């Protein structure tokens, strides 16, 4: 069996003395692993780094086998990532979130978004909202998407400022006011298409708090997993730059 596909490298593990097991998010074949023979060679190491893109050729005798991967680098981002702690942790977070989807299950929208983030990790103004949106997309792709279209109580589509922690549905200001201490803030930028204008820092913080609640409740918690270390590290860097004084948890 054989296929060729574009892939974003999200992880590499040593295997034996000379090889590695490479993990990539591909356009048509989902999150996929494969053995790269000679992957520990010095000439290969700069290419086989999380955040780089490559053309992958996978071969195996049977579909359920790990298989062998041939890697042809297409976009190298390692140098840019290593220059910024925020960028490096952001790519680590993207990889950790992608591991929540089933292996070999195609998610082309997630692939495209992950590559877009990888191409814009140096844009510190847009990166935070991209990551919040990506976390929301992970929830959607895994069947736990937030319903932010209309108020869960009244059906109105305007002035939606809260999210119910029970249902994950939006709640209007009027309907939610008596229960606001039990509801999660809904930042306005999550209800509109992405723009070049960066959301206010407080909205970004509310966005991360919102997605964190549902990621932990619906995905990480049931699997007995903590939130990714890369997430905490990224938020710590973001908090310092935004002047929050503490991470938004």
- Looking at the fold, whether 111 and 62 belong to one and the same domain comes out as no
- CA atoms lying within 13 Å on the CB side of residue 25: 26
> pLDDT at residue 193 above 80?
no
Element (H, E) at 9: strand 2-15
pLDDT of 189 strictly over 80: yes
Domain range for 49: 2-76
Query: Domain for residue 247, yes or no?
Result: no
For tokens 């209309």, what's the residue?
A: 150
- Condensed to tens digits (0 to 9), the pLDDT of residues 69-107 reads 999 999 999 988 999 999 999 999 999 999 999 999 999
Task: Supply the pTM of this predicted model.
Answer: 0.94
Residue with the two structure tokens 């903590």: 226
**Mean pLDDT, to the nearest integer, of 219-247?**
90
In a shared domain, residues 72 and 85:
no
In a domain, 218, yes or no: yes
Residue 153 has pLDDT above 80, yes or no: yes
Residue 64 in any domain: the answer is: yes
Q: Are 56 and 144 members of one domain?
A: no
Domain count, the chain: 2
Distance separating alpha carbons of residues 197 and 124, to the nearest angstrom: 12
Read off the pLDDT of residues 9-52 as tens digits, 9 standing for 90 and up: 999 999 999 999 999 999 999 999 999 999 999 999 999 999 99
């Amino acid at each position: 069996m054989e296929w060729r596909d574009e892939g974003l490298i999200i992880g590499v593990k040593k295997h034996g003395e000379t090889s590695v097991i490479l993990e990539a998010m591909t356009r048509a074949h989902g999150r996929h692993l494969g053995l790269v023979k000679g992957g520990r060679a010095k000439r290969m190491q700069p290419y086989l780094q999380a955040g780089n893109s490559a053309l992958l050729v996978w071969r195996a005798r049977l579909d359920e086998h790990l298989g062998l991967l041939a890697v042809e680098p297409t976009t190298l981002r390692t140098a840019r990532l290593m220059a910024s702690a925020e960028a490096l942790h952001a790519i680590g977070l993207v990889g950790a979130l992608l591991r929540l989807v089933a292996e070999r299950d195609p998610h082309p929208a997630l692939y495209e978004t992950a590559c877009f983030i990888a191409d814009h990790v140096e844009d510190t103004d847009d990166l935070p909202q991209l990551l919040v949106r990506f976390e929301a997309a992970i929830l959607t792709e895994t069947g736990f998407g937030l319903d932010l279209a209309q108020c869960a109580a009244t059906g109105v589509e305007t002035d939606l400022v809260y999210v119910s922690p029970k249902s994950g549905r939006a709640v209007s200001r009027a309907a939610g006011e008596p229960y606001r201490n039990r509801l999660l803030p809904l930042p306005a930028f999550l209800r509109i298409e992405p723009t070049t204008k960066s959301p206010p820092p407080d909205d970004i913080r509310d966005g991360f708090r919102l997605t964190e609640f549902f990621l932990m409740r619906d995905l990480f918690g049931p699997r007995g997993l903590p939130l990714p270390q890369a997430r905490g590290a990224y938020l710590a860097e973001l908090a310092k730059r935004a002047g929050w004084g503490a991470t938004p948890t």
